[in-house]
Amino acid sequence: MRTIIGNDDAASSREPQDWHAIDWRLVERNVRTTQRRIAKATQECDWRRVKALQRSLTHSFSARALAVRRVTENQGKRTAGVDRALWDTPDLKWKAVSRLKQQRGYRPMPLRRVYIPKSNGKERPLGIPTMFDRAMQALHLLGLEPVAESTSDPNSYGFRKNRSTADAMSQIFVCMSQKASARWVLEADIEGCFDHINHDWLVSQVRMNKTILQRWLKAGVVHKGQLTPTDEGTPQGGIISPTLANVTLNGLESELAAYLDAKLKKTKAAKLKINVIRYADDFVVTGISKEVLETEVRPWIEAFLAKRGLRLSPEKTRVTHIDDGFDFLGWNFRKYRGTMLIKPSRKNVRAFYAKVAEVIKSHRMVKQVVLIEKLNPILRGWAQYHHPVVAKDAFSRLDSLIHWRLQRWARRRHPQKSRKWCYSKYWKHLDDREEFAAARQSKDGTWQLVRLNPLADTAITRHLKVKGDYNPFDPKWEVYGEELRGKRMLQSIGYRKELRSLYLSQSGNCALCGTAITRETGWHDHHIDRRVDGGSDLLSNRVLMHPVCHGRLHAERLSVAKPVPKGT
């Protein structure tokens, strides 16, 4: 039997001796090389080789280091499990990398149950694993992702690399915007998808270490000191849970197409214009008529889900005509006199405005600059989400409502002053218009003007949809993936020309670790010579870095080289 040796574990002496000595560019290259081999073996249905490669990957130093980095640098890094342990120092992170070697006899601890509010007033249960269990999930996810990507449906867009809600929106537009396109849509909603997945089906179908998967699923949850067993479902809150849900629903598109082709023959099935567009557990199915969706498609989907322990929600599942419109992922899709328009849904707009109003209401006595800094990320995030659709009217309408809220905020602070006085105090005449703005003193002693970001300033730009067959672990898609990532990053940076120049001059890579800067990793605009020491704001004195790399640079007092100007 052939023995597969990891790329970076041939000699333990070659491993770094502490957390900060890890070469992350080498680590990512090693992991990606093995992931490509797993994807290739999956495409060839060589499951024995897939299993051997996955074991090699999960025992390698590079994968263990990358798993620890993921769980200590994501949004949940300050949320502890039942053991209340956090890995918030380089020494603890380094010890965690060594602990992940001990996989024989591994038993996960129970999950910590927390509840977060949903938009309908109910609460969503989350299961928070311990840091060690999270790292173990992240480790095995590195081996599962290439398999999941290679076997996924083309139009599945949730929790997959380089795929987003905007891709699902674009695919619906492709399928329903033309005059001859499908006119009916089945709006499907799975009832408690994460809570009811059948464990036996999941363990038998997921291509990973089945013993470890079984133990994760049966770990139980602790709430108010009581341990409750988990007999079904995969808990929301685990790193690997979204991928497990995707694997559960994979085949919804391809198997439905195969069923219709076999029953009606391929030419007749094509005339039905059946298309499945899915984002995680939310999906829609287009069709040429209401009868086809209700009598052919829906019964098949119900049987497909029943095998996995799932069922459609009777209240939320319906068949709708495109002229009446339907809501999906925060947007409303509808045809007006034959022209399809996609707009922010009323429910989404109301929820957003309620959130903004609550922030203003709960910050009545703070300084103006503090309120602006609280509101701007919320405004930018919502506008960025809706920038690919017909949202200008919604942006302008909400700007007016927010302006009215801010006027009430200002008048309440100065009840004895006139409206004109309040307006002149909090609004500045900038760029030929009145803006809600205030001055703030920075750390270097200089004063900067902080403005509230109007929603209407967001440019409406068409989303660059990913190709359905794109596989990030297949070498033939490497160039396409890099180009797509670069274009989307430049689109995210938008009108900020200086950031665009820095990003392009660095070829999209971090100035410290050399790995890619993406929308997911975020970025920090670092001054090589500090402004307090006389450093300038010129591009020659600035570089883009990952936020975590920026923290490491200051913690270890490292330095980065100045970028080489173009043409030299």
> What confidence tens digit (pLDDT) does each residue in 4-22 have?
334 444 444 467 888 888 8
Write out the E strands in 75-210.
111-117, 123-128, 184-189
**Is residue 286 located within the same domain as residue 253?**
yes
**Is residue 451 located within the same domain as residue 402?**
yes
- Token pair 């036996």 is found at 200
**Is residue 285 located within the same domain as residue 138?**
no
322-356 pLDDT tens trace: 999 999 999 999 999 999 999 999 999 999 999 99
Q: In this structure, is residue 327 part of a structural domain? A: yes
CA 356 from centroid of its chain's CA atoms:
22
**Is residue 313 located within the same domain as residue 194?**
yes
Domain final residue pick, 407, 424, 457: 457
Higher pLDDT, 532 or 458: 458
Domain final residue pick, 310, 342, 374: 342
Residue 24 has pLDDT above 50, yes or no: yes
Residue 561 has pLDDT above 80, yes or no: no
362 token code pair: 């709960």
Instruction: Find residue 331's DSSP bridge partners.
Output: 328, 344
Among 252, 122, 255, CA closest to 192:
122
368-402 pLDDT tens trace: 999 999 999 999 999 999 999 999 999 999 999 99
DSSP conformational letter for 156:
B
Look at residue 6 in the predicted model and tell me its pLDDT. Answer: 41
465 token code pair: 């949809």
Whole-model pTM: value is 0.88
- Token pair 């001055």 is found at 439
Look at residue 5 in the predicted model and tell me its pLDDT. Answer: 35
When the pLDDT of each residue in the chain is averaged and rounded to a whole number, the result is 90
Yes or no: say if 176 and 333 are a contact pair by the CB < 8 Å rule.
yes
Among 143, 156, 145, 187, CA closest to 250:
156
Q: Check which CATH number belongs to the domain holding 538 and give it.
A: 3.40.1800
Look at residue 444 in the predicted model and tell me its pLDDT. Answer: 66
Q: In this structure, is residue 203 part of a structural domain? A: no
Q: Is 485 helix (H, G, I), strand (E, B) or coil?
A: helix
**Is residue 273 located within the same domain as residue 396?**
no
Across 270-274, average pLDDT: 93
Yes or no: say if 495 and 453 are a contact pair by the CB < 8 Å rule.
no
Across 83-111, average pLDDT: 91
Q: In this structure, is residue 224 part of a structural domain? A: no
Domain final residue pick, 317, 342, 367: 342
pLDDT level of residue 237 (50, 70, 90 thresholds): confident
Residue 489 has pLDDT above 90, yes or no: no
Across 497-526, average pLDDT: 84
Domain count along the chain:
4
Yes or no: say if 542 and 566 are a contact pair by the CB < 8 Å rule.
no
Q: In this structure, is residue 562 part of a structural domain? A: no
**Is residue 192 located within the same domain as residue 326?**
yes
135-162 pLDDT tens trace: 999 999 999 999 999 999 999 999 999 9
Q: What percent of the chain has pLDDT over 90?
A: 65
Look at residue 519 in the predicted model and tell me its pLDDT. Answer: 75
**Is residue 49 located within the same domain as residue 124?**
yes
**Is residue 299 located within the same domain as residue 239?**
yes
Look at residue 493 in the predicted model and tell me its pLDDT. Answer: 75
pLDDT level of residue 120 (50, 70, 90 thresholds): low
DSSP 320-342: EETTT-EEETTEEEEEETTEEEE
Q: In this structure, is residue 222 part of a structural domain? A: no
Q: In this structure, is residue 29 part of a structural domain? A: yes
**Is residue 289 located within the same domain as residue 423?**
no
**Is residue 186 located within the same domain as residue 291?**
yes
**Is residue 314 located within the same domain as residue 375?**
no
Q: In this structure, is residue 6 part of a structural domain? A: no
Burial class (CB in 10 A: 0-12, 13-18, 19+), 288: middle
Tell me the residue range of the domain where 82 lies: 16-150+208-216
Q: In this structure, is residue 417 part of a structural domain? A: yes
**Is residue 146 located within the same domain as residue 171?**
no
